[in-house]
Amino acid sequence: MNTKRKMRAVARRDGMKCSMCGKTDNLTLDHKKPRVFFADSRIENLQILCRACHDEKERKYNIAEMIKIKKDKNHPLKDTLWYAEKLKELDTH
What are the tens digits of pLDDT across the range 41-54?
A: 889 889 999 999 99
Q: Give residues with Cβ within 8 angstroms of 73, minimum separation 6.
A: none
Number of domains, the chain: 1
Q: Which domain holds residue 28?
A: 3-92
d(CA 36, CA 57): 15
d(CA 29, CA 40): 13
Q: If pLDDT is split at 50, 70 and 90, which confidence band does 39 have?
A: low
Task: Please give the model's pTM, rounded to 2 decimal places.
Answer: 0.69
